[in-house]
Amino acid sequence: MPRFLKEFFNRNGTLMGSLMLGLVLFWTVGLIILPQLSMLDFSFRPNLPPPEIGGPKDVYTLENYKYLIYGPEGGSQDYNAVDLRVFFRTIVAAICVTIFNLILCYPIAYYLGQTKGNHIRILALMLIIPYWINEILRAFALRIIFGESGVLNTMLVGLGIFDTPFDFIRNDIALYAGLGYAYILLMIFPIYNVIESLDHNQIEAARDLGAPWWRIHKRVVIPYAKPGISSGCTMVFMLSAGALAAPQILGGPSSLWFTQLIYQQFNDNSDWPQGAAYAIVLLVTCILLVLAVMRLFKVNMGDIGK
C-alpha cells in the first residue's frame, strides 16, 4: 500500500477511510470514466437496429467521425459544411463568451477581493441569490427581457433610441448574454478567492514606486491572480461550449449550437453512435484547446485547483 494511502487510513480509520475512498472511486470511475468510455466505444460503432447488435455487422469503424467531416456518403457536398460550421462557430463563440466574461468579472472580483467591509458580503450574496433559480427559468427570463416586445425593446423604443424593436434573439445577442450570465459566478469566485489573499501592501508598494493603476494590474495583480483567472476561464469555456439550455431557449432560429446537433443525433435521429462521436470530438477539442492556452500562458495544472 502506498504511504499516502496508509496515512489516509490511519487518519480516518479503516471503516471511514474505505467508505470515503469507495465513494470517491464510485464517483470518478462509475459516474465519470465508465460512461465516457462507453461513449467512446459507441462512437466507433455503426448505428444498428437492436437485433443486429453483437452480430457480424457490429465492427469498429470511423464512419461516425468521417460523417462530421465529409457528410453523408454520396451527398451533394464534399464536406459536411453545415455541421462543421456549427462546430467552429460554437468553439469561437465559447471563446468570445469566456473573454467577455473575464473582462466583465475581473474588475468585480478585484473590487470584492480588495475592499474591506460588510457590504462586500452583501454584494457577494446579491451575486449568488439569482443562481438559486433554475438555469432554464433564468434563460426564459432573459428571453422575456430580450424579446421583441420585451423590457429592453420597450425601453429603447420608448426612449427613442430605436424606431422599431431590435431583434436581439435573431442577432444572437440574447444567446451570448445568456451564456455569459449563466457562468458569471464560475469566473468571479476563483478570481476573487485569489485576489482576496493578495497583500494590499503590494498594490501600495507598486503605487509608491510610481506605477500607474494599469501597470499595477499588469505586473502585480494579474500575475498573482493567474491561477484563479485560468481556473475561471477553463470552467466558463468548457461549460459554454457544452451548454444546451441557453442555446435552445435563447438561440435564434438559424443559429445552432453544436450541443444541439449532438442532442438531435441522440434524441431525434436515435443515432447514439453518431451523437457519441460528435460529443467526443467536442470534448477532445475543448480539452486540447484549454491545454494549449495553459501552455501559452505558462499555467500549471496544479494551479487550477487552487
Partner 1 sequence: MSAGVGVDLENLWIRFGDFVAVRDANVHIKGGDFFSFLGPSGCGKTTILRAVSGFLEPSEGNVLIGGNNMKGIGPNKRPTALIFQNLALFPLMKVWENITFSMEIKGASAKERRKRADELLDMIALPGQGDKLPSELSGGQRQRVAIARALCAEPHVLLLDEPLSALDLKLRQHMRTELREIQQRVGITFIYITHDQGEALTMSDDIAVMRAGVIDQIGDGKTIYNDPATAFAASFVGENNVFRGKVLEVNGNEALIRTNRSGDLRSRISTANIGKMKVGDDAMMFIRPEALDLAPTGTKGENFVTAQVTHEEFEGNSFNIFMEGDGGKEIKVAIPNVGQSFDDHTGQAMTLEYEVDNAVVVPAGELAAE
Q: Which residues bind partner 1 (CB under 8 A)?
A: 199, 201-202, 204-212, 215, 219-220, 223-224
Nearest approach in angstroms of CB 206 to partner 1 is 7
Q: Return the number of the residue (43 or 231) whose C-beta is nearest partner 1.
A: 231
Nearest approach in angstroms of CB 145 to partner 1 is 41
Q: Return the number of the residue (41 or 199) whose C-beta is nearest partner 1.
A: 199
Task: Give the phi and the psi of residue 67 in degrees, each rounded to 5.
Answer: -60, -40
Nearest approach in angstroms of CB 113 to partner 1 is 17
- Side chain identity at 141, as an amino acid letter? A
Q: Return the number of the residue (30 or 212) whose C-beta is nearest partner 1.
A: 212
Nearest approach in angstroms of CB 115 to partner 1 is 16
Nearest approach in angstroms of CB 105 to partner 1 is 22
Q: Return the number of the residue (6 or 215) whose C-beta is nearest partner 1.
A: 215
Cα–Cα distance measured from residue 97 to residue 105, given in angstroms and rounded to the nearest whole number: 12
Q: Return the number of the residue (75 or 223) whose C-beta is nearest partner 1.
A: 223
